[in-house]
Amino acid sequence: MTMEIFLSLLLVLGVIHLVQAQSQRGFISLDCGLPANEPSSYTEPNTGLEFTSDAGFIQSGEIGKSKTIPRIGYGYPLKPYTTLRFFPEGTRNCYNLPVDKGRKYLIKAWFRYGNYDGRDIKPRFDLYLGPNLWATVDMQDEDSTSEEILHVPTSDSLQICLVKNGTTTPFISSLELRPLGNNSSIAQDDSLKLIRRIYFTESENYIRYPDDAYDRLWSPLSSSSLTHISTTRDVSNSGSYNVPKAVRQNAARPTNASEPLTIEWTRESPNDQFYMYEHFAEIQDLQASEIREFVVSFNGISISDPVTPAKIEMTTLGSRIPVNFEGEICSLQLTRTRRSTLPPLLNAYEIYRVIQFMQPETDETDAVALKSIQDTYKLIRINWQGDPCVPQHLMWDGLNCSDPIISTSPRVTSLNLSSIGLTGTISAAIQNFTKLETLDLSNNNLTGGVPDFLGNMKSLLVINLSRNNLSGSIPRALQREGLKLLVEGNPRLCLSDSCKKLHKKKLIVLIVASVASAAIVIAVLILLSVLKKGKPAILRGLHLLPRTSTMNVTFAEKNSRRFTYSEVIKMTNNFQRVLGKGGFGMVYHGSVNGAEQVAVKVLSQSSTQGYKEFKAEVDLLLRVHHTNLVSLVGYCYEGDHLALIYEFLPNGDLKQHLSGKGGRSIINWSTRLQIALEAASGLEYLHIGCTPPMVHRDVKTANILLDANFKAKLADFGLSRSFQGGGESQDTAVAGTIGYLDPEYNHSGRLGEKSDVYSFGIVLLEMITNQPVINQTSGYPHITQWVGFELNRGDIVEIMDPNLHKDYDFNSAWRALELAMVCANPSSSKRPTMSQVIHEIKECIVCAKSGMSKNQGLEPQEITSADTSMVPTAR
């Protein structure tokens, strides 16, 4: 990682805000294995913590007790770690804990083997938070250990699971959750595993609750290379981090005053990223001539300005973004400056490793529905613990789910509850599985009628209700084409309301379309035939004609291929592979005739705006064709099923390649310029090549897709609108994406091609800087403000994406940056046309290829677009 990256790591003093805890409110302290029939709670005398039995939070496991006694001085109290719960049955066993969604928690799991089973075989197993691996607990070389993490739950229930990864038996001694408050600024979006939390002292005392209001465990450390300092004075907290009193009153400095204070640790993986927090206070009385000043560096790179500890006042220095360096050994150093007469001083430090929890939990609606079914039928299945769908090798018995991908929650697509002794009626919770395709409730003892809601579940393709004790008539909604309904073996169930044919031993296995349905189909075909002959008066007279029929008339005149819904199901292999998700609906991978790869965008039935976007996109893409616009292969319009089938672009979107997310490569400078040129060409075609001319209205990096050769194609035309060539049109319904949205258009509602030019300017800035378009944590929340500030300082290196590693022609970079800022001018009259943009990008490419003036740059005053009047305000 380059020096520029670390100079841009703005370290903040006292930014960590943890609300003052006045009590144990919100604490969860579980003594695992404490029998529920004994006093199920107690106050631990050493800490005053209120521990309870874990029996109400888990449905499996057996109780054990350590055969050896833990030492209090080791850092934890005695009683909670003498009992334990172990799990000889099942692969995954999970605790379900109530939490506040979106709130940061400190979570601690304690493990003390104590030869509880008399076998003296220390186990090794995995620890999961929901569907994601938290840690591997390995007791091979120790009798006790713990794992601690800072984590923000994404739902109101937190699942902590112990998973077998071999032949040994998982166990747990204690599980503890501590809420840290909503205003915590410690890596707000990251889950952090504790590496160390150390305070310097000659004492052997560990510190936790009540001395630490959040029950953080501080481990003591002394060293012969350090001189320890202490005071009895009251050292105040300035940054509301709430460091315990004993930590504030103790510190250390290097015994050799010329040496730095060094902290080292070994990384587990080359990709490890860390957050580091240093706590210090001047607790010595200094003479007037004495100065204590030092800088903080990581692996030899300075990451702070010179620091002078405040007198009798605790200050916290913390990294705002995670840091990462090459090398196995990590080294954090405090080094005195030249003007300092005293060595550096440190009271305490914390080191956390970022854990990338990439796998989202099962869709919350589906998970709640499964829990309701579990409660309704009193299902106790050892496998039904933890997240239902993920990880895939631990998926619940009887389920199939959509393939899990990053940022998209898996959905339940198949539910098989056959032959498990279900009694009562069919659970109403089943209707909440909106992506369910197969439902099997056969070979049970279900009674009552077949509920109407099953007929409203449009995704269902197969329903098996065979061999139950259902009665009454089958709802007409289930007697539809495309649905396979199996009901044999229910002697009191009949097809019609009269139920006169109860003597039949078996009912029809496959229900086909009714005569009424066929009549409707014939009527629609006749209507389409009439409309094809050009008789709009008929259409004007049908005031009650549904919107879908009107839409069907439009599509009937299109030449592009129309697919049936069954063909869509086949081409996507029952929607197996998800490519992404948008406001319109889900996008799936598919293939036509087993050869041509396609992307299938399926309209969500809950989307209202999606219908309009669907029609707009089809109307546009069926009449315009350009090498830099995504091609429409076809569409599906069948009842409530709407889908768009595009060419498949295997390299995803531009945004992924700027961030490197999803395993995407980081593209170089020349490729970025070529992508910008091709995206601009697509926009130019919309603006001047179409009749009437079109404006895209949602130009952003996520809507620029890349084919196998990184050729750029604009996508997502659902918001596109026509405008009068050379002018503007009034569009009262302003649409677009915050940050990319033209501020003039947003204010006036007047839509024109220059609105796309503004959005393209923001895209170009994003390609140049790899900075977020909106960053509320910065003093310059919009990317144009941040770039404008940096431009006034005249150093392009601070602006350019550090992932480029200065591998670009500086002259080319300056020209591209100037172009981007001109495009993003708040005044549309001062923006260029897309044709002018294309000409300028071509000049940038020529500069980049020639390599002339490489690394020389231009004088800052020549960049007229850095004028602060051009920087829009945050929206």
Give the span between the Cα atoms of 822 and 788, in whole angstroms: 12
Terminal Cα-to-Cα distance of the chain (whole angstroms):
33
Contacts of 789 (CB under 8 A, 6+ apart): 780
Q: What are the 10-residue block averages of pLDDT along the chain, 875 residues in total?
A: 32 33 80 88 91 94 84 59 93 94 93 92 94 92 91 90 94 95 58 94 92 93 94 84 92 95 89 89 94 92 89 87 79 94 96 87 92 91 91 91 75 94 94 95 94 92 95 88 91 68 40 38 41 33 31 42 88 88 79 86 66 72 84 83 88 87 81 96 90 88 92 87 61 75 83 92 95 80 88 83 90 93 92 94 90 40 32 29
Give the span between the Cα atoms of 569 and 637, in whole angstroms: 13
825, amino acid identity: N
- Contact between 330 and 16 (Cβ < 8 Å): no
The SS3 assignment for 639 reads: coil
Is residue 397 in some structural domain? yes
C-alpha angle 407-413-417 in degrees, rounded to nearest 5: 130
- Say whether both 202 and 285 belong to one domain: yes
Output the domain CATH number for residue 737.
1.10.510.10
- Say whether both 507 and 434 belong to one domain: yes
Q: Tokens 């198949």 appear where?
A: 414
Is residue 5 in some structural domain? no
Is residue 444 in some structural domain? yes
Count of domains for the chain:
5
pLDDT at 187: 58
- Contact between 727 and 695 (Cβ < 8 Å): no
Q: What are phi and psi of 236, to 5 degrees?
A: -85, 160
- Say whether both 210 and 297 belong to one domain: yes
Among candidates 209, 237, 175, which has minimal Cα distance to 18? 237
Report whether the peptide linkage leading into residue 123 is cis, meaning its omega lies within 30 degrees of zero: no
- Say whether both 158 and 123 belong to one domain: yes
As beta bridge partners, residue 400 has: 414
- Say whether both 260 and 371 belong to one domain: no
**Secondary structure (DSSP) of 407-457:** TB---EEEEE-TTS--EESPPGGGGG-TT--EEE--SSEE-SPPPGGGGG-
Specify whether 698 is catalytic: yes
- Contact between 209 and 260 (Cβ < 8 Å): no
236, amino acid identity: S
Is residue 537 in some structural domain? no
Count CB neighbours of 363 within 10 A. Answer: 22
β-pairing verdict for 50-53 and 62-65: unpaired
**How many CA atoms lie within 13 Å of 489's alpha carbon, on the beta-carbon side?**
13
pLDDT at 729: 54
Is residue 522 in some structural domain? no
Is residue 206 in some structural domain? yes
User: Buried b vs exposed e over 329-358: b needs ≥16 C-beta within 10 Å?
Assistant: ebebbbbbeeebebbbbbbbbbbbbbbebe
Give the span between the Cα atoms of 799 and 668, in whole angstroms: 16
Q: What is the 3-state secondary structure of 516-561? A: HHHHHHHHHHHHHHHHHCCCHHHHHHCCCCCHHHHHHHHHHCCCCE
Is residue 753 in some structural domain? yes
Among candidates 221, 211, 208, 203, which has minimal Cα distance to 245? 211
C-alpha angle 179-180-186 in degrees, rounded to nearest 5: 140
- Say whether both 862 and 717 belong to one domain: yes
Which secondary-structure segment (H or E) carries 570? helix 565-571
pLDDT at 405: 62
Among candidates 475, 490, 481, which has minimal Cα distance to 431? 475
- Say whether both 746 and 629 belong to one domain: no
Which secondary-structure segment (H or E) carries 812? helix 810-823
- Say whether both 343 and 417 belong to one domain: no
Give the span between the Cα atoms of 347 and 493, in whole angstroms: 77
C-alpha angle 857-861-867 in degrees, rounded to nearest 5: 115
Give the span between the Cα atoms of 426 and 455, in whole angstroms: 13
Cβ-in-10-Å burial (0-12, 13-18, 19+) of 529 comes to exposed
C-alpha angle 446-450-455 in degrees, rounded to nearest 5: 135
- Say whether both 349 and 371 belong to one domain: no
Output the domain CATH number for residue 141.
2.60.120.260
Give the span between the Cα atoms of 837 and 831, in whole angstroms: 9
Beta strand extents in 728-867 (DSSP E only):
729-730, 750-751
Is residue 9 in some structural domain? no
Which of 513, 529, 562 is the C-terminal boundary of a domain?
Answer: 513
Q: What is the dihedral of CA 651, 652, 655, 656, to 10 degrees?
A: -70
- Contact between 199 and 278 (Cβ < 8 Å): no
Annotated catalytic residue within 366, 653, 698, 731: 698
Query: Domain range holding 456?
Result: 364-513
Among candidates 429, 475, 427, 435, which has minimal Cα distance to 457? 435
Which DSSP symbol is given to 376? H
β-pairing verdict for 438-440 and 462-464: parallel
- Say whether both 837 and 821 belong to one domain: yes
Which of 182, 202, 235 is the C-terminal boundary of a domain?
Answer: 182
Q: What are phi and psi of 681, to 5 degrees?
A: -65, -40
Which secondary-structure segment (H or E) carries 4? helix 3-7
Contacts of 375 (CB under 8 A, 6+ apart): none
Q: What are phi and psi of 630, to 5 degrees?
A: -60, 135
Residue 588 CA: distances (Å) to CA of 136, 320, 600: 34, 37, 5
Give the span between the Cα atoms of 253 and 346, in whole angstroms: 7
The SS3 assignment for 660 reads: coil
Tokens of 457: 């579940």
Q: Tokens 């620029």 appear where?
A: 704
Give the span between the Cα atoms of 5 and 758, in whole angstroms: 28
Output the domain CATH number for residue 441.
3.80.10.10
Which of 292, 326, 355 is the C-terminal boundary of a domain?
Answer: 355
Contacts of 108 (CB under 8 A, 6+ apart): 146, 147, 148, 174, 175, 176, 177, 178, 215, 217
Contacts of 691 (CB under 8 A, 6+ apart): none
- Say whether both 88 and 205 belong to one domain: no
- Contact between 648 and 597 (Cβ < 8 Å): yes
- pTM higher than 0.85: no
Q: What are phi and psi of 198, to 5 degrees?
A: -120, 140
- Say whether both 208 and 300 belong to one domain: yes
The SS3 assignment for 860 reads: helix
Whether residue 601 is annotated as binding a ligand: the answer is yes
- Contact between 292 and 315 (Cβ < 8 Å): no
